Amino acid sequence: MGIGMLSLITGRAGPSGFGSASTAEQVTQGIDASNLTAIVTGGAKGIGLETARVLALRGAHVVIGARNLEDANKGKQHIMNENGAARVTVLKLDLCSIKSIEEFAKSFNALDLPLNILINNAGIMFCPFQLSKDGIEVQFATNHLGHFHLTNLLLDKMKRTAKATGIEGRIVNLSSIAHGLTPEGGIKFNRINDKEGYNDKKAYGQSKLANILHANELSRRMKAEGANITVNSVHPGLIMTNLMKYSSILMRIVKVFTILAWKNVPQGAATTCFVALHPSLKGVTGKYFQDCNEYEPSKLARNKVLAKELWDFSNKLVRSA
């Protein structure tokens, strides 16, 4: 299953034929996505922008959901400069706000497009304690709860698209290797907004664990319904992006000692693009990938009871918000 640290450093390909050195363009070489529509959250910058660029390069109509429209339009321009035929639409999306998520879903539905692929990519990391617009700890709200609600709002459209076209729908949640560093028990259900016990690193790990649990629970639900939609999660690797803005000194120091384990942005978008588009993953669901190969995530991430508890808890939080 795992191809290990040595392969990460050397870039040696794993069983999929790809590895840590593979780029998003390489893993999607020759794939025709011109009959697909994809949403990429946080597609204005970083790994999300590269994901949007490569999906568009393969012909997909890409909808970038971004809270900063100026950045997103710059991102769109960056894609169009290289590929004038790219189909890219920008829509406002602030994952910290239930209202904004609902407006995004409404605007997307108004476009009357199909929906084949949803990339839950946007994220923030290691920020000081803060509450979202709906009063929820901001890393949990942005990284998990916003995507949980967005996915539920778009699911009907994805199911209808898959049914009408016969093409498998795919949902990809961007998690992280940091899903292994969490508060005790994984998710602080009773103290999610607890400022006193807040640890910025563990709050990030908690939200990234939630990304995997969400993908796995949704995958089970899609299977039970017989919906032609797969749901997987990925760790993109270590990539120096704006994600490090709250920890730039720490991450630069870490990078000095772990330089060989870092990737560039095209490599960072590879696992997402591989899981979203590659034909070899047809029917593969409820799995966790890194370096374009399947890995086993932490024990907590594989806990079905915890995944169900998170599902119910998230529904309750959305309703109360």
Binding mask 242-261 for ligand NAP (x = CB under 6 A): xx------------------
Q: Which residue type does 262 have?
A: W
Give me the residue label for tokens 């949640």: 173
Q: How far is the CB of 215 from ligand NAP (least distance, A)?
A: 13
CA 142 – CA 138 distance, rounded (Å): 6
Among 27, 91, 122, 210, the residue binding ligand NAP under the rule CB under 6 A is 122
Q: Closer CB to ligand NAP, residue 227 or residue 263? A: 263
Is residue 44 a contact residue for ligand NAP (CB under 6 A)? Answer: yes
Residues identified as active-site: 198
Residue 92 — φ and ψ, nearest 5°?
-70, 135
Q: If binding means CB under 6 A, how many residues of this protein chain bind ligand NAP?
A: 29
Q: How far is the CB of 254 from ligand NAP (least distance, A)?
A: 11
Binding mask 85-114 for ligand NAP (x = CB under 6 A): --------xxxx------------------
Q: Is residue 142 within 8 Å of 122, Cβ to Cβ?
A: yes
CA 276 – CA 114 distance, rounded (Å): 16
Near ligand NAP in 292-321, by CB under 6 A: none
CA 269 – CA 196 distance, rounded (Å): 36
Q: Is residue 151 within 8 Å of 304, Cβ to Cβ?
A: no
Other C-beta atoms within 10 Å of 290: how many? 22
Is residue 34 a contact residue for ligand NAP (CB under 6 A)? Answer: no
Other C-beta atoms within 10 Å of 133: how many? 14
Q: Which residue is nearest to ligand NAP (CB)?
A: 46
Q: Closer CB to ligand NAP, residue 48 or residue 297? A: 48
State the distance between the two ends of the chain, measured CA to CA, in whole angstroms: 40
Query: Residue numbers of the site for ligand NAP (CB under 6 A)?
Result: 42, 44-48, 66-68, 71, 93-96, 121-125, 142, 174, 176, 235-236, 238-239, 241-243
